[in-house]
Amino acid sequence: MVLNVEKKENGIYEASISLDSKEWQDSLNSAYEKNKGKFNIAGFRKGHAPRNIIEKNYGEGAFVNEALDEVYYKAYTQILREHEEIKPIDAPKLEIKKLDNTGVDIVLTISCVPDFTLAKYKGLTFEKNKTEITDKDIEEEINKELLRASRLVETNKPVKNDDFVTLDFDGYIDGKQFDGGKAENYQLKIGSKSFIDNFEDQLVGLNIGDKKDVVVTFPEDYHQKDLAGKKATFKVEIKNIRERVMPILNEEFVSNSTEFDDVDKYKQSIRTRLEKEADERNELELDNDILDKIIDDTDLTVPDVMVEEEFNRQMNGMNTQMQYQGIKLEDYVNYIGKTMDQFKEEVKNNSRRNVKGRLVLEKLIRDEHLDVIEKDIDQKIEEMAKNTGKSLEEFKKHVNNDMINHIANEILMKKLVEFLKNNNEIK
C-alpha cells in the first residue's frame, strides 16, 4: 500500500491511498474469509462456498464494501500513528478515485483544528473598575434586610400601592369571555406591573367586597396575538387586602436579627460586605476583559463541524431545560419575541464564539506549559471539605471523576488568569 499525506489549508489533511492489483485482491480475500459464513449457496455448506461462487450469485461487489472498510481502517490507523500532529475533529471523508481489477486509489480528507497564531497576550494594559460604596448603597441594602424581616397583615383599609390583594376577575372582549382571562383568589401585588396597562392602578382605593369593571388595552406586541391591541373589560371583586408592616431599624432589631448589638457596627458590616462583593465583581470583569481581548484579537476561522457540534449541544441543553419547566422551546422563543430562525442564528453565533474561545485558551495553556498537579487538586478538595463542614474522609466519598475534572479545569483557568495578570499591566 502506498500512503501519502499532504497538509492543505485551514486544518485540512489529504491522504492518498493506493493499492495495486495483488494488494486489492488480498483485501477482497480477507473480507471473504471474515464474511463467507453470512452467505447461503445451494450445494455448499454454509461458510464453505468459494469466493467466486458467492460473487457469481451475489454480484462481483459482494465483498467490496467490507474490503474498503478494512483498507480504510488500516490506512487511517497508520496515519494517526505516524502523524501525531493530525488531531481529527470529525470522521474523515472518503472518496474513491479508482476501483477495478488493477487496484484501488482512495483519498481521505481529514479535518483538524487549523493552525493559528495567538494574538499578543503579554505587555498589554487593562483597567480594573473601582466601585465606591456610598451611604445610599448601604441604606438600600438595609431596606432589603428590613423588607425580608417585614410581615404581611390583613387590613380593612382601602387598597394602596404595595398592598397584596386577593381578587377574582373575569375578562371580556366585545362582550365575550376569552381564554386565560379568568381567575379566582388571585394574589396580586399592587404596583408590581405584572398586569397589563393600568389594571393595578384602577384597584387603588377599593375596599374588601368592592366590585369594579376594570378597562384596559392589551399592548400591540402582546405575546398572545389574538389579544394584541384589543380593549378588554375585567369584572373584578376584592376578596382580601394585606399590607406590609416594616420593622424599625434600631438596636432592638439589630440585636434580635443580626450578630451585632449596635446599629453603627451593623452598618459598617454591610459596608465591608458590599465592598468585598464589588471588588469580586470588578475582578471577575477584569478577568473577562483580558480573556475577551485575546480571543477577539486572535485570527482563527473555527471549523464548521465544531460549531455544529457545539450548536447541537446548546440546543439539546435548552430543549431539556424547557421540558423540565413544562414548556416547549418554540413557545419560549415566541414569548421573547423572536422567530426560531433568529433564535438559532444567535445560538449559532454563541457556539462559534464558545469554540473559538476554547481553542484559543487551550493553545495559550499549552504554549505556556500551564498544568495542574495532584497536589493542587488535593488542596482544593481539602478546602471544599472544610467549607461543607465534613471531614476529608467523608467528603472524598462523594468525589467522582467528573468532579475531579471540574476541579482541575477550575484550577487551570485560575492559573491562566493569574499568569495573564502577572504579564500585563493592570491599572
Say what the pLDDT of residue 394 is. 84
Asked whether the predicted pLDDT for residue 10 surpasses 90, the reply is: no
C-alpha cell at 98: 479508482
Residue 321, H or E segment: helix 304-324
Mean pLDDT of the chain: 92
The pTM (predicted TM-score) of the whole model is 0.71
The number of residues making up the chain comes to 427
Q: What are phi and psi of 76, to 5 degrees?
A: -65, -40
Contact 109, 93 (CB under 8 A): yes
Q: What is the pLDDT of residue 16?
A: 94
pLDDT digits (tens, 9 = 90+) for 308-347: 999 999 999 999 999 888 888 988 888 888 899 999 999 9
Residue 396 has pLDDT above 90, yes or no: no
Helices and strands per DSSP (H, E), number in the chain: 12, 11
Q: What percent of the chain has pLDDT over 70?
A: 100
CA distance 39 to 78: 32
- The rounded distance, in Å, linking the Cα atoms of 87 and 12 is 10
Rounded mean pLDDT, 378-389: 87
Look at residue 225 and tell me whether its pLDDT is greater than 90: no
Burial category of 127 from C-beta neighbours within 10 Å (exposed 0-12, middle 13-18, buried 19 and up): exposed
**What's the pLDDT score for residue 304?**
87
The residue behind cell 432592638 is 252
pLDDT digits (tens, 9 = 90+) for 275-300: 999 999 999 999 999 999 999 999 99
Mention every residue, 6+ apart, whose C-beta is less than 8 A from residue 170: 177, 181, 182, 234, 235
Please state, in angstroms and rounded to a whole number, the distance separating the CA atoms of residues 250 and 257. 11
- DSSP-derived letter for residue 295 is H
Whole-angstrom distance, CA of residue 228 vs CA of residue 183: 20
| Domains of the chain with bracketed CATH | 2-111 (3.30.70.1050), 151-245 (3.10.50.40), 272-426 (1.10.3120.10)
Does 127 or 390 have the greater pLDDT score?
127
pLDDT of 206-222, one tens digit each?
999 999 999 999 998 88
- pLDDT, tens only, 90-130: 889 999 999 998 999 999 999 998 889 999 999 999 999 99
| pLDDT for the residue 398 | 84
Determine the pLDDT at residue 290: 96
Using the predicted structure, report yes or no on whether residue 352 has a pLDDT greater than 90: yes
